[in-house]
Amino acid sequence: MPELPEVEVNRENLERWLSGKKIRRAVVRDRKVAGGKPVRKLVAALAGARVVSVSRRAKHLVLDLGSRGKVLAHLGMTGKFLLRRKTDVDPPGTRVVLELAVGERVVFQDVRRFGHFKLLDRQGEALLETLGVEPLSKEFSPRLLEALLRETRLPVKLFLMDQRRVAGLGNIYAAEALFLAGIHPSRPAQRLSREQARRLHAAIRRTLKESLAEARAPEITYVEEPEAENPFRVYGREGEPCPRCRQPIRRLPQGGRSTFFCASCQRR
Protein backbone atom coordinates (compact mmCIF):
# COMPACT_ATOMS: atom_id res chain seq x y z
CA MET A 1 0.00 0.00 0.00
CA PRO A 2 1.51 3.34 -0.99
CA GLU A 3 2.94 5.45 1.84
CA LEU A 4 5.17 8.53 1.73
CA PRO A 5 8.06 7.09 -0.35
CA GLU A 6 5.77 5.50 -2.95
CA VAL A 7 3.57 8.62 -3.19
CA GLU A 8 6.73 10.71 -3.62
CA VAL A 9 7.89 8.44 -6.49
CA ASN A 10 4.48 8.91 -8.17
CA ARG A 11 4.91 12.67 -7.66
CA GLU A 12 8.37 12.70 -9.22
CA ASN A 13 7.09 10.74 -12.21
CA LEU A 14 4.07 13.03 -12.66
CA GLU A 15 6.25 16.13 -12.35
CA ARG A 16 8.49 14.79 -15.11
CA TRP A 17 5.63 13.73 -17.38
CA LEU A 18 3.19 16.60 -16.81
CA SER A 19 4.88 19.72 -15.53
CA GLY A 20 4.67 22.49 -18.14
CA LYS A 21 2.65 20.20 -20.45
CA LYS A 22 -0.82 20.77 -21.79
CA ILE A 23 -3.55 18.19 -21.21
CA ARG A 24 -5.41 17.85 -24.50
CA ARG A 25 -8.32 15.83 -23.15
CA ALA A 26 -9.25 13.95 -19.98
CA VAL A 27 -11.36 10.80 -19.80
CA VAL A 28 -12.79 9.59 -16.49
CA ARG A 29 -13.62 5.89 -16.79
CA ASP A 30 -14.95 5.45 -13.25
CA ARG A 31 -17.21 8.02 -11.61
CA LYS A 32 -16.21 6.80 -8.13
CA VAL A 33 -12.72 8.24 -8.61
CA ALA A 34 -14.13 11.80 -8.57
CA GLY A 35 -15.35 11.38 -4.99
CA GLY A 36 -19.06 11.89 -5.66
CA LYS A 37 -18.51 15.24 -7.42
CA PRO A 38 -19.68 15.89 -11.01
CA VAL A 39 -17.24 14.30 -13.44
CA ARG A 40 -17.96 16.92 -16.13
CA LYS A 41 -16.49 19.70 -13.93
CA LEU A 42 -13.31 17.71 -13.45
CA VAL A 43 -13.04 16.91 -17.16
CA ALA A 44 -13.70 20.55 -18.10
CA ALA A 45 -11.02 21.80 -15.72
CA LEU A 46 -8.46 19.35 -17.12
CA ALA A 47 -9.17 19.75 -20.85
CA GLY A 48 -6.75 22.29 -22.29
CA ALA A 49 -5.14 22.97 -18.91
CA ARG A 50 -1.40 23.42 -18.55
CA VAL A 51 0.05 21.68 -15.50
CA VAL A 52 2.08 24.14 -13.42
CA SER A 53 3.45 21.68 -10.87
CA VAL A 54 2.79 18.46 -8.99
CA SER A 55 3.29 18.57 -5.23
CA ARG A 56 2.85 16.15 -2.36
CA ARG A 57 1.48 16.63 1.15
CA ALA A 58 1.74 13.45 3.26
CA LYS A 59 0.09 10.74 1.10
CA HIS A 60 -1.83 13.25 -1.05
CA LEU A 61 -0.83 14.60 -4.46
CA VAL A 62 -1.83 18.04 -5.74
CA LEU A 63 -1.79 18.85 -9.46
CA ASP A 64 -1.72 22.62 -9.93
CA LEU A 65 -3.62 23.57 -13.10
CA GLY A 66 -3.06 27.31 -12.66
CA SER A 67 -6.27 29.30 -13.24
CA ARG A 68 -8.17 26.00 -13.77
CA GLY A 69 -7.77 25.08 -10.11
CA LYS A 70 -6.13 22.07 -8.53
CA VAL A 71 -6.64 18.33 -8.53
CA LEU A 72 -6.28 16.32 -5.31
CA ALA A 73 -5.23 12.72 -5.84
CA HIS A 74 -4.91 9.90 -3.33
CA LEU A 75 -3.56 6.49 -4.33
CA GLY A 76 -5.69 4.52 -1.87
CA MET A 77 -4.48 0.92 -1.68
CA THR A 78 -3.37 0.22 -5.25
CA GLY A 79 -3.37 3.51 -7.18
CA LYS A 80 -0.50 4.51 -9.46
CA PHE A 81 0.20 6.82 -12.35
CA LEU A 82 1.66 5.34 -15.53
CA LEU A 83 2.87 6.80 -18.82
CA ARG A 84 1.49 5.22 -21.98
CA ARG A 85 2.56 5.87 -25.58
CA LYS A 86 0.27 5.86 -28.60
CA THR A 87 0.21 2.12 -29.30
CA ASP A 88 0.27 0.88 -25.68
CA VAL A 89 -3.02 -0.43 -24.30
CA ASP A 90 -4.35 1.03 -21.06
CA PRO A 91 -3.72 -1.29 -18.09
CA PRO A 92 -6.64 -3.06 -16.36
CA GLY A 93 -8.14 -0.84 -13.66
CA THR A 94 -7.53 2.41 -15.57
CA ARG A 95 -9.74 5.10 -13.94
CA VAL A 96 -8.54 8.33 -15.53
CA VAL A 97 -6.72 9.04 -18.78
CA LEU A 98 -4.95 12.37 -19.36
CA GLU A 99 -4.17 12.77 -23.04
CA LEU A 100 -1.15 14.98 -23.66
CA ALA A 101 -0.66 17.15 -26.71
CA VAL A 102 2.37 15.16 -27.81
CA GLY A 103 0.38 11.94 -28.32
CA GLU A 104 1.29 10.45 -24.97
CA ARG A 105 -1.07 9.87 -22.08
CA VAL A 106 -0.80 9.57 -18.33
CA VAL A 107 -3.21 7.06 -16.82
CA PHE A 108 -4.36 6.64 -13.23
CA GLN A 109 -4.67 2.93 -12.57
CA ASP A 110 -6.39 1.77 -9.39
CA VAL A 111 -7.47 -1.87 -9.31
CA ARG A 112 -9.01 -1.82 -5.80
CA ARG A 113 -10.76 1.56 -6.35
CA PHE A 114 -9.99 3.14 -2.97
CA GLY A 115 -8.05 5.99 -4.55
CA HIS A 116 -9.40 9.27 -5.86
CA PHE A 117 -8.66 11.95 -8.41
CA LYS A 118 -10.88 14.98 -7.88
CA LEU A 119 -10.99 18.75 -7.91
CA LEU A 120 -9.51 20.28 -4.78
CA ASP A 121 -12.41 21.94 -2.98
CA ARG A 122 -12.83 23.50 0.48
CA GLN A 123 -13.28 20.08 2.02
CA GLY A 124 -10.00 18.92 0.49
CA GLU A 125 -8.21 22.07 1.62
CA ALA A 126 -9.53 21.56 5.15
CA LEU A 127 -8.23 17.99 5.09
CA LEU A 128 -4.76 19.12 3.99
CA GLU A 129 -4.72 21.65 6.84
CA THR A 130 -5.21 18.93 9.47
CA LEU A 131 -2.03 17.11 8.42
CA GLY A 132 0.94 17.02 10.76
CA VAL A 133 4.62 17.58 10.11
CA GLU A 134 6.35 16.13 7.02
CA PRO A 135 8.95 13.65 8.34
CA LEU A 136 11.49 14.50 5.63
CA SER A 137 11.21 18.27 6.20
CA LYS A 138 13.75 20.41 8.08
CA GLU A 139 11.03 21.28 10.56
CA PHE A 140 10.87 17.63 11.73
CA SER A 141 13.62 17.63 14.37
CA PRO A 142 14.27 15.12 17.18
CA ARG A 143 13.05 17.83 19.57
CA LEU A 144 9.77 18.28 17.70
CA LEU A 145 9.17 14.51 17.61
CA GLU A 146 9.81 14.33 21.34
CA ALA A 147 7.32 17.14 21.98
CA LEU A 148 4.68 15.41 19.81
CA LEU A 149 5.23 12.09 21.61
CA ARG A 150 4.63 13.83 24.98
CA GLU A 151 1.12 14.82 23.86
CA THR A 152 -0.45 11.36 23.86
CA ARG A 153 -0.68 8.00 25.57
CA LEU A 154 -1.47 6.27 22.25
CA PRO A 155 0.72 3.22 21.56
CA VAL A 156 3.70 4.59 19.64
CA LYS A 157 2.83 2.58 16.50
CA LEU A 158 -0.62 4.22 16.34
CA PHE A 159 0.93 7.60 17.12
CA LEU A 160 3.17 7.21 14.06
CA MET A 161 0.20 6.33 11.83
CA ASP A 162 -1.87 9.33 12.99
CA GLN A 163 -1.67 11.72 10.02
CA ARG A 164 -2.43 14.74 12.22
CA ARG A 165 0.82 14.26 14.15
CA VAL A 166 3.48 12.98 11.73
CA ALA A 167 2.13 12.81 8.18
CA GLY A 168 2.87 10.20 5.53
CA LEU A 169 3.71 7.09 7.56
CA GLY A 170 1.38 4.10 7.41
CA ASN A 171 1.42 0.53 8.62
CA ILE A 172 4.63 -0.41 6.83
CA TYR A 173 6.97 2.46 7.67
CA ALA A 174 5.72 2.78 11.26
CA ALA A 175 6.67 -0.89 11.85
CA GLU A 176 10.00 -0.53 10.05
CA ALA A 177 10.99 2.62 11.97
CA LEU A 178 10.12 1.07 15.34
CA PHE A 179 12.20 -2.00 14.51
CA LEU A 180 15.20 0.13 13.49
CA ALA A 181 14.84 2.16 16.70
CA GLY A 182 14.42 -0.96 18.88
CA ILE A 183 11.12 0.25 20.36
CA HIS A 184 8.11 -1.99 21.16
CA PRO A 185 5.07 -0.94 19.06
CA SER A 186 2.71 -1.00 22.06
CA ARG A 187 4.77 1.37 24.21
CA PRO A 188 2.73 4.49 25.07
CA ALA A 189 4.11 7.46 23.08
CA GLN A 190 4.45 9.53 26.27
CA ARG A 191 6.69 6.92 27.86
CA LEU A 192 9.51 7.11 25.32
CA SER A 193 12.76 8.50 26.72
CA ARG A 194 14.58 11.40 25.05
CA GLU A 195 17.13 8.90 23.72
CA GLN A 196 14.37 6.70 22.27
CA ALA A 197 12.74 9.72 20.63
CA ARG A 198 16.09 10.61 19.07
CA ARG A 199 16.58 7.04 17.81
CA LEU A 200 13.03 6.93 16.45
CA HIS A 201 13.56 10.22 14.61
CA ALA A 202 16.70 8.86 12.94
CA ALA A 203 14.95 5.55 12.15
CA ILE A 204 11.97 7.28 10.49
CA ARG A 205 14.25 9.31 8.23
CA ARG A 206 16.42 6.32 7.40
CA THR A 207 13.60 3.94 6.47
CA LEU A 208 11.81 6.59 4.35
CA LYS A 209 14.99 7.64 2.52
CA GLU A 210 16.09 4.04 1.86
CA SER A 211 12.69 3.11 0.45
CA LEU A 212 12.45 6.28 -1.61
CA ALA A 213 15.78 5.44 -3.26
CA GLU A 214 14.70 1.82 -3.88
CA ALA A 215 11.17 2.58 -5.10
CA ARG A 216 12.18 5.06 -7.84
CA ALA A 217 10.97 3.63 -11.14
CA PRO A 218 8.73 4.78 -14.00
CA GLU A 219 6.39 1.88 -13.10
CA ILE A 220 6.28 1.56 -9.34
CA THR A 221 5.42 -1.80 -7.74
CA TYR A 222 3.81 -2.13 -4.29
CA VAL A 223 4.82 -4.89 -1.90
CA GLU A 224 1.32 -6.47 -1.96
CA GLU A 225 1.47 -7.09 -5.72
CA PRO A 226 2.00 -10.75 -6.70
CA GLU A 227 5.29 -10.15 -8.56
CA ALA A 228 6.76 -7.88 -5.86
CA GLU A 229 9.62 -8.83 -3.56
CA ASN A 230 9.42 -7.81 0.08
CA PRO A 231 12.22 -5.27 0.67
CA PHE A 232 11.31 -4.69 4.34
CA ARG A 233 13.09 -5.79 7.53
CA VAL A 234 10.02 -6.90 9.54
CA TYR A 235 6.87 -5.90 7.63
CA GLY A 236 5.06 -8.97 6.27
CA ARG A 237 7.70 -11.34 7.72
CA GLU A 238 5.87 -13.15 10.53
CA GLY A 239 7.79 -16.31 11.50
CA GLU A 240 10.90 -15.37 9.52
CA PRO A 241 14.16 -14.76 11.42
CA CYS A 242 14.83 -11.23 12.68
CA PRO A 243 17.58 -9.69 10.52
CA ARG A 244 19.39 -8.66 13.72
CA CYS A 245 18.98 -11.51 16.27
CA ARG A 246 17.45 -14.39 14.22
CA GLN A 247 14.47 -14.80 16.60
CA PRO A 248 11.18 -15.23 14.67
CA ILE A 249 9.36 -12.00 13.77
CA ARG A 250 5.99 -11.74 15.48
CA ARG A 251 2.68 -10.28 14.38
CA LEU A 252 0.55 -8.20 16.73
CA PRO A 253 -2.98 -6.95 15.92
CA GLN A 254 -3.08 -3.22 16.67
CA GLY A 255 -5.77 -0.71 15.71
CA GLY A 256 -7.31 -3.19 13.24
CA ARG A 257 -3.99 -3.73 11.42
CA SER A 258 -1.09 -6.15 11.78
CA THR A 259 2.11 -4.89 13.35
CA PHE A 260 5.30 -6.85 12.74
CA PHE A 261 8.11 -6.71 15.30
CA CYS A 262 10.88 -8.63 17.05
CA ALA A 263 10.04 -9.34 20.70
CA SER A 264 13.71 -9.64 21.57
CA CYS A 265 15.06 -6.50 19.80
CA GLN A 266 11.95 -4.42 20.70
CA ARG A 267 11.30 -5.15 24.37
CA ARG A 268 8.28 -3.79 26.19
Coil, strand, or helix at residue 94? strand
Closer CB to Zn ion, 69 or 182, in the complex: 182
Residues whose CB falls within 8 Å of the CB of residue 2, separated by 6 or more in sequence, listed in order: 10, 59, 75, 77, 79, 80, 220, 222
| Phi, psi for 260 (deg, rounded to 5) | -110, 135
Min CB(189)–Zn ion separation in Å: 22
Q: Which residues bind Zn ion (CB under 5 A)?
A: 242, 244-245, 262, 264-265
Write down the catalytic residue from 11, 56, 59, 105. Answer: 59
- Confirm whether 3 is a catalytic residue: yes
- Confirm whether 59 is a catalytic residue: yes
- Confirm whether 241 is a catalytic residue: no
Instruction: Report d(CA 70, CA 93) in Å as an integer.
Output: 24
Is residue 149 within 8 Å of residue 159, measured between CB atoms? yes
Min CB(181)–Zn ion separation in Å: 13
Closer CB to Zn ion, 21 or 244, in the complex: 244
| Phi, psi for 28 (deg, rounded to 5) | -105, 115
Closer CB to Zn ion, 47 or 263, in the complex: 263
Write down the catalytic residue from 3, 6, 99, 146. Answer: 3
Closer CB to Zn ion, 56 or 233, in the complex: 233
Min CB(136)–Zn ion separation in Å: 27
Min CB(245)–Zn ion separation in Å: 3
- Confirm whether 50 is a catalytic residue: no
Task: Name the residue whose CB lies closest to Zn ion.
Answer: 242
Coil, strand, or helix at residue 67? helix
Write down the catalytic residue from 24, 25, 113, 257. Answer: 257
Instruction: Report d(CA 226, CA 223) in Å as an integer.
Output: 8
Instruction: Report d(CA 13, CA 135) in Å as an integer.
Output: 21
Active site residues: 2-3, 59, 257
